[in-house]
Amino acid sequence: MQTSNIKELLNSNGIKATWQRVEILKVLQSSNECLSASQIHQKLSAKNINIDLATVYRVLELFDKKGITQKSVINRKSFFELKKYEHCHYFVCIKCQQKTNIVDCKIDLIKEELRKRNFKVLSHNLEVYGICNKCCGGD
Amino acid sequence: MQTSNIKELLNSNGIKATWQRVEILKVLQSSNECLSASQIHQKLSAKNINIDLATVYRVLELFDKKGITQKSVINRKSFFELKKYEHCHYFVCIKCQQKTNIVDCKIDLIKEELRKRNFKVLSHNLEVYGICNKCCGGD
DNA sequence: ATTACTGCAAAGCATTTGCAGACTG
DNA sequence: CAGTCTGCAAATGCTTTGCAGTAAT
């Protein structure tokens, strides 16, 4: 995606398009997995783009609040990715650390249970740990 | 429960019964909710029992490894409680911070899905945030 | 005596914050 | 110009670790 389109995307979400935000969004768009703030910071550094880590955190928090990214907390660390149509969480392999999507986390069933008790669910986080199919076989 | 019984409980789990471990276990037994390391530390202090916070962390880690406690990570903090028969997680009210059990987290359905794909689930964590029944009504 | 356990202090790590200067409209 | 955003540095909060002294078998 072109920088100009990215700027429009930001503006349409009520976000002022500073070059830092544009670059961070580019990194998110070019990644097919969720990234932590420091991973994003590293990817930027690799492109010789220097943005302070604190700025990366602030921008990601903004993106999240505006709904253009979705955050997952895994092992106490935040990971961000562009918000997709499907809601998702991750299975994390304790051997190779690879993350695999869990699309259906059954939260609707839990929500329904809680709604009956008059609890209103606003957000949730699910982490599943184990051994992935690749690491299951050999090793 | 008497101290002697607590010692037996520890020994039967292969844990040497130091007085610090006995006291920490007493706190866990007398609580009807999950506690963080620092909450346990505070409760001990209130009884004029001084155990270093680092020791509390080490003991809780040991209890967890030996399976006498179960840990929940909520907002990046660890909370411990004695392991119960029912598996559980928490709904946390974002207004009053109160935690409420979610007994059935539907992990078996997720496990089944993953097993079909040859992933082995070893552990998981679920956090659900929202507004509890008390805070929903009035406020 | 050997091994395990604790207290103390310091370090670690992800994240947040205060502030002054830079940028943007 | 007024308000926002950024870089820098320092602080935060929870947790972990190194080490030397203590306790227990």
Bases on strand C under 7 Å from any protein CB: 4-10, 14-18, 23-25
Indicate if the pLDDT at residue B138 is higher than 60. Answer: no
Q: Give the domain ranges of chain B.
A: 3-82, 89-130
Of B82, B128, B122, B75, residue with least CA distance to B105: B128
pLDDT tens-digit series, residues B68-126? 999 999 999 999 999 988 888 999 999 999 999 998 999 999 999 999 999 999 999 99
DSSP characters over B114-129: HHHTT-EEEEEEEEEE
Q: How far apart are CA A41 and CA A57, in angstroms?
A: 9
**Assigned superfamily of A89-130:** Ferric-uptake regulator, C-terminal dimerisarion domain (3.30.1490.190)
**pLDDT > 70: percent of chain B:** 98
Q: Which pLDDT does position A34 carry in this prediction?
A: 96
Q: Helices then strands (H, E): number in chain A?
A: 6, 5
Pairwise CB contact (< 8 Å): B114 & A125? no
- Under 8 Å CB-to-CB from B43, ≥6 apart: which residues? B27, B31, B35
Write out residues 61-90 of B within 8 Å (CB-CB) of A: 73, 76
User: pTM of this prediction?
Assistant: 0.93
The separation, in Å, between residue B14 CA and nucleotide C5 C1' comes to 15
Q: How far apart are CA B131 and CA A111, in angstroms?
A: 12
Q: Which pLDDT does position A70 carry in this prediction?
A: 95
Q: How far apart are CA A22 and CA A12, in angstroms?
A: 13
Pairwise CB contact (< 8 Å): B120 & A131? yes
pLDDT along chain A (139 residues), means of 10: 82 94 97 96 96 98 95 97 91 94 93 95 96 81
Q: How far apart are CA B56 and CA B38, in angstroms?
A: 8
A99 Cα to chain B: minimum distance (Å) = 12
Q: Which pLDDT does position B63 carry in this prediction?
A: 97
CA B5 from chain centre, in angstroms, equals: 21
Average pLDDT over residues B43-62: 97
Structural fold of domain A3-82: Arc Repressor Mutant, subunit A (1.10.10)
- With contacts defined as CB-CB under 8 Å, which chain A residues touch B126? 124-127
Pairwise CB contact (< 8 Å): A123 & B113? no
